[in-house]
Amino acid sequence: MAKGFFITGTDTGVGKTVITAALIRAIGLLGLRACGMKPIETGCIRAKSKVKNRVLIPSDGMFLRELTDMDDPIDLVTPVRFENPLAPMVASNIEGIPVDIDKIKRAFEELSKGYDIIVVEGIGGLLVPIKRDYFVLDLVRDFGLPIIVVSRPGLGTINHTMLTVNYAIKEGLEVAGIIINYSRPPEGTLAEDTNPEIIRQISPV
């Protein structure tokens, strides 16, 4: 079974990509070979080309691949891509392209063979729908990886973080840790100053 982590968030835009890349770099400093994977990316940009079906460029997947010096093809790093910046199930319905879960699993297995550790960046949070009956939570289960929850520092994050962590544990997932990510400049609020310690005190992780 592959060794690694699955990076999920309490919301979209909490900085999962940067955390994923930083974790890969940190693991590399320990002398281990680590790679990143963004199995599904929406909001991709179409490459400039005269070809009718232009290739979709996954910006997060490319960032992970380039920043961590991976030479694996982008189709392994981000095997499923959509143009519309929506939940995968919604983007899939609009674009008329089904989400190929088997393709994702094959890419995961192939990447895992060449590295000691694989760090997977999810899309949104655990209950983002990939298909009607398949959520990010199910992808975590299929990969068999412990999760790291990335959250915001500001007001409201205690509830969002605790909901994510407790639901994950209830569903039988292993929660390896919580990262409160200051992805934006601190506002200097009392909530930002006190939330990390409160979460540390009340979290079961």
**Annotated catalytic residue within 38, 50, 103, 131:** 38
What distances in angstroms separate CA 152 from CA 23, 64, 106, 156, one per listed residue? 18, 21, 32, 9
Q: Tokens 């509830």, residue?
A: 159
Active site residue 38: yes
Work out the widest C-alpha separation in the chain, in whole angstroms: 57
Q: Pairing relation of β-strands 175-180 and 147-151?
A: parallel
Helix extents (H) in 56-127: 59-67, 74-77, 88-95, 101-113
DSSP string, 106-122: HHHHHHHHT-SEEEEE-
Among positive and negative, which fits the CA dihedral 88, 91, 96, 97? negative
Answer for the pair 70, 77: CB distance below 8 angstroms, yes or no.
Answer: yes
Nearest CA among 160, 158, 126, 169 for reference residue 7: 126
Answer for the pair 66, 114: CB distance below 8 angstroms, yes or no.
Answer: no
Residues identified as active-site: 38
